[in-house]
Amino acid sequence: MILDLFKLDGKVALVTGAGRGLGQAMAIALAEAGADVAGLGSSSLDETATQVKALGRKFLPLKVDLLQVHAKDVTKLVEQVVTGLGSLDILVNNAGIVRRAPVMEFTEEDWDDVMQVNLKSAFLLSQAAGREMVKHGKGKIINIASMLSFQGGIRVVSYAAAKSGLAGITRLMANELAPKGLNVNAIAPGYMATDNTAALRTDPDRAPAILERIPAGRWGKPADLMGAVVFLASSASDYMNGSIIPVDGGWLTR
């Protein structure tokens, strides 16, 4: 049956930024599909843990600040997941921050912080998880890209650079790891109602301009990513390699 291909029974997923917003929704979606979940975040993971456990799945909390991690730390994180939950089959690189300022005023600190969390940590986690997955000849790596993987945006130069870089890493890792049995793909959310867009959604000029361009006529919700992440994490996407799937209410079509 086709629906059986979407089941994640017996799988283990690591989701970064799992404490709230998009990461929380995707962690819950993977648990609903049958996976046990390791949730990584710098803030409380209690709410996500409660919802995952209510589904009868295991939850491993990993309290980590990705601003501070290096390669050796990421290797230990992967080891913790394998030890705590038995394997690592799915990685969702969702954690991200944004800093806003005109390009000519953008600070070095705001550049470095966003690149560290949004790009470097995602690469290091993919590298460490990939090494574990290659041992078993299979695995799913899902990067959370952005509309700014395709466009320039304004006032978020480090975010645009990081998300464009994440799209490039997705394609490169797909080229190298598909022959080893791994699938590396990405989801590019549109304008989503999360903490990262709070300033935009209250901006009297930009908020209506953004909404006017979205054919669906609304901002996205975290739940809008649940289907896409389960698809890319499941056997239903076994012939997907290096794809970047927009979930944007039609933003890119305008």
The H-assigned helical ranges of the chain are 21-32, 46-54, 71-85, 108-115, 121-136, 157-177, 198-201, 206-213, 226-233
Non-local (6+) Cβ contacts of 63 within 8 A are 41, 42, 45
What are the beta bridge partners of residue 139?
182
* Residues 220 and 196: beta-carbon distance below 8 Å: no
CA–CA separation, 131 and 148 (whole Å): 29
For 44, phi then psi, to 5°, come to -60, 135
The token duo for 230 is 């389960």
H/E element holding 197?
A: none
Non-local (6+) Cβ contacts of 202 within 8 A are none
CA–CA separation, 55 and 31 (whole Å): 7
Catalytic, 239? Answer no
Q: How many CB atoms lie within 10 A of CB 43?
A: 11
Nearest to 9 by CA among 45, 48, 58: 58
**Cα radius of gyration rounded to whole Å, the chain:** 17
Among 16, 45, 77, 159, the one annotated catalytic: 159
Q: Which residues are catalytic?
A: 159
